[in-house]
Amino acid sequence: MPEEQQPRKRPQREKSAAGVLPDRPQPHAEKIERAVLAALIRDASGCLDTARSFFKDRVSVFYTPTHREIYSTILELGSIDAKHVDLLSVAQRLREKGKLEAVGGELFLAELEMAISTTVNIENWCSQLVKYDNLRQMILVCSESLTKCYEADHESDDVFDDIEKKIFDIRSADLGADFYEVKNLLKSEFQELMKINAGEVEVGLKTGYDVVDEYTGGLKPGEMFILAARPSIGKTSLALNIIRNVATGPDPQPVAFFSLEMSESQIVRRLLCTQAGVPESTFWNRQFDARKIEQITGAAAILQESKIFIDPTGGLSIAELRAKARRMQMLHGIKLVVIDYIGLMTTGQRSENRQAEIQQISGAIKKLAKELKIPFLVLAQLNREVDKNSSPNAKPKLANLRDSGSIEQDADVVTFLHRDREKSKGDVASAEALWIIEKNRNGRTGDVKLNFIPSRMEFEMAPRVDQHFGPEPQS
């Protein structure tokens, strides 16, 4: 039995399981309870949504009444904004409720905050507390069932049904719906297909690049869309172009951009100049005339109405991404998450194997996309093998994805941005580029021609070639 389960200091129990080892403490883990509370006090913004997702509305996951009171107070403070939760605010709220001394005072809270050195294991801790709570509920149900069985007469079917239902409810409470019967889904899906066919709803978010959307159906809910390229090819620029198109297009949608490379000011400046069609070099070359001022002002007015949320956290961990994305969706209803880029993310744990770490990150992103039911546009690097190919017509392949093949496996769509960097040097007005759709789980693959405008860091669709150009065939 773990140390925290020893009856040395038996916590008060909410309800005794009469008749079933009444003098024995019920399953719990006091140290893990303290660890979760410490994580919530130290980093509520990164951990509170995780706790909520595991615990739902249950405060019973905390066996010790003191811990239960502290958790309830944290929930109360964080109900509007997790930033309101810290050591001082928790202590003050407990004092206002007249319960600060009952939980051990400010000294106890300070010791609690220092109980852990990192919050990286918050999900594992929460999972364990849920399991202990389920065991305690099972003990209670079994204890009550003994009494019912003793008191039941020969008509015991109702007793069996009641016991079976309560046990099933405990077992399935945290599993969620893990299967669906087709016949119950047919009607809604058929109606959705008819709406798509009639043009009443879109399959996915439009990227603003028509031919790409024809191939992929746009950025579809629950899908992981990879955009990969070698450094300095323009994948961040293309991603920002897509963000702008989604957030300011005919049907503007909120977008969350997690930038692990660029600062928030760099991103806003890039968006502003691209929207205005004004080279950023105009600023430091002092060529900012009245016409350009008008263009920038107009661009600022358009972006002012958009809902683009930037998180410039470097070394973003999966736990942080999950908590922040969930919170942005809850508060702002985001419809697209963009990550720049997956190679700079971490699991939050030490790892000697980068491929295994990327595999874990990739799988977690795909799982989060399905959970939130929104698309994730994830940028990735290609390895150096692309540059080593001497053929002028050589294009990236799936094998060129850097760090791990799991990205290819987890992604629904894998695309590559490809162009000749040498042709973009100097004062070139535009350069040809290819947007290669290499994997498409639910559609076609192929190459889409783009034009890159270096001065504006913008990609545009290349003019379509008329397939019927030329003399009409003789009848």
Residue 374, pLDDT score: 93
Instruction: Give DSSP secondary structure letters for 208-251.
Output: S-HHHHHHH-SB-TT-EEEEEE-TTSSHHHHHHHHHHHHHHSSS
User: Band of the pLDDT at 9, cuts 50, 70, 90?
Assistant: very low
Q: In this predicted model, what pLDDT tens digit does every residue of 50-107 receive, in sequence order?
A: 888 788 778 889 998 999 999 999 988 887 777 788 889 889 989 998 989 888 888 8
Apex 282 CA angle, 277 and 287, nearest 5 = 115
Domains in the chain with CATH codes: 3-172 (1.10.860.10), 210-461 (3.40.50.300)
pLDDT at 29 over 70: yes
From the list 456, 436, 455, 421, the residue with the least C-alpha distance to 240 is 456
Which pTM does this prediction carry?
Answer: 0.67
pLDDT at 427 over 90: no
- Spatial distance between the Cα atoms of 157 and 141, rounded to a whole number of angstroms: 17
Joined tokens for residue 110 = 């300070």
Q: What is the share, in percent, of the chain residues with pLDDT greater than 70?
A: 81
Q: In this predicted model, what pLDDT tens digit does every residue of 434-459 receive, in sequence order?
A: 999 999 988 888 999 998 888 788 88
Q: What is the share, in percent, of the chain residues with pLDDT greater than 90?
A: 19
**Could you tell me if residue 234 is left (phi over 0), alpha (psi between -120 and 50 degrees) or otherwise beta?**
left
Instruction: Give DSSP secondary structure letters for 408-470.
Output: HHH-SEEEEEEE-GGGGSSS-S-EEEEEEEEEETTS--EEEEEEEETTTTEEEEPPPP-TT-S
- Spatial distance between the Cα atoms of 234 and 222, rounded to a whole number of angstroms: 25
pLDDT at 12 over 60: no
pLDDT at 31 over 50: yes
Residue 263 φ/ψ, nearest 5 degrees: -80, 165
From the list 1, 30, 26, the residue with the least C-alpha distance to 15 is 26
The residues near 436 (Cβ < 8 Å, ≥ 6 apart) are 395, 396, 415, 416, 417, 418, 446, 447, 448
- Residue 56: DSSP 8-state: T
Q: Which residues face 227 on adjacent strands?
A: 379, 415
Residue 24, pLDDT score: 72
- Spatial distance between the Cα atoms of 224 and 442, rounded to a whole number of angstroms: 12
| Average of per-residue pLDDT values in the chain | 81
Apex 128 CA angle, 124 and 131, nearest 5 = 140
